[in-house]
Structure 1
Amino acid sequence: MRAAELFAAGQDNAAVARELRVSVRSAQRWRRSWQERGADGLRSRGAVSRPKLSHALFAVLEEELARGPGAHGWPDQTWTLARIKTLIGRRFHKTMTRSGIAQMLRRHGWSHQVPACRALRRNEDVVAGWVKDVWPHVE
């Protein structure tokens, strides 16, 4: 809708593209829709395709993820996109790309977690001394 405001204000396609951080080609398509149908021509018409997993199937996936990787045969407790892809294939007989899985998880409020890996025999005094030598301004 911001594009409609910029078009109405007389901004050219390049300026609209810069302002909204899109390609000039997208701004051109938007301008054509705006000219033909007004601001309603710029409203979203929803997703282009249906999601691979419905809300009900995603709820089942969440239950499976909550059971943990060990319950599905993996030796450690780390969920990776590759493992989730395999789980979706086994459980729902559907194929998805890893990037598609990541986007789906983000849409449903999931975020990636990076485990903190620390040495078993870490000497905090040595680490603190090294940090102070390398970055003297850090306390």
Structure 2
Amino acid sequence: MRYAQGGGLTAERRAFRERLRMEAADRFVRGEETAVIARDLRVTTRSVQRWRKAWNENGLPSLASKGPASVPLLSDELFAVLERELDRGPVAHGWPDQTWTLSRIKTLIGRRFHKSYTVQGVAVLLKRHGWTCQVPARRAVERDEQAVAGWGKETWPQVEGCGRHATPGSSSRTRPASR
């Protein structure tokens, strides 16, 4: 299952899920049926079946939370070092311009910490620490709104004109208006 923040369950959510499993174990002792337990706890029947099997084989400890699914490769201390390296800028690390990309950060992590992340893993790491994609705060000073509007009215139709135009009776995803 994927989670919106890119990480696993929060500590609170893990504790909640563990309480559900412990409640199910109490009900296993009382001999309640799987379907009833699943309905009452609002979980799938398959989950209750897995819990019952683990409980039958290894008892109550098998239903305890095992903690987070994974531990980040970079600790908070190492991430602080990474932030300092990022503040130095890409040029200080050998790139020709002042643009940080996920690929460049991945390379920097590999060089500096000897840790291997995927590009997506770097995105998750940064997001987890509150970083966001860089978006220009304002438009360029040189932007000419009249030229942009003129281009949209004059140049774009010429560029677009090369393609096939929809005409009455041509194939379309929408039905023609009823007459």
Structure 1: gaps (5+ residues): 14-26, 135-139
Alignment of 1:12-91 (within 5 A): 13=44, 28=46, 30-32=47-49, 41=63, 45-91=66-112
Instruction: Give % identity.
Output: 55
RMSD between aligned residues: 3.9
Stretches (4+) displaced over 4 A: 33-38, 118-122, 129-134
Residue 124 (structure 1) shift: 1.4
Counterpart Cα distance in 2 of 1:115 and 1:121 = 14
Q: Which has the higher contact order (CA 8 A, sep 6+)?
A: 2
Q: 2:133 aligns with which of 105, 112, 124?
A: 112
TM-score, normalised to structure 2, is 0.49
- Say which one has the larger Rg: 2
How many residue pairs are counted as aligned between the two chains? 117
Give the deviation of 1:71 after TM superposition.
1.1
User: How far, CA to CA, are the matches of 1:77 and 1:31 in structure 2?
Assistant: 53
- Secondary structure at 1:94 match in 2: coil
| Cα distance in 2 between the residues matched to 1:94 and 1:12 | 38
Q: TM-score, normalised by structure 1?
A: 0.61
User: In 1, distance between residues paired with 2:102 and 2:41?
Assistant: 46
Q: Which runs of 5+ in 2 are unaligned?
A: 1-15, 21-36, 157-179
Letter in 2 for 1:65: L
- Asked whether 1:99 is paired with 2:120, we answer yes
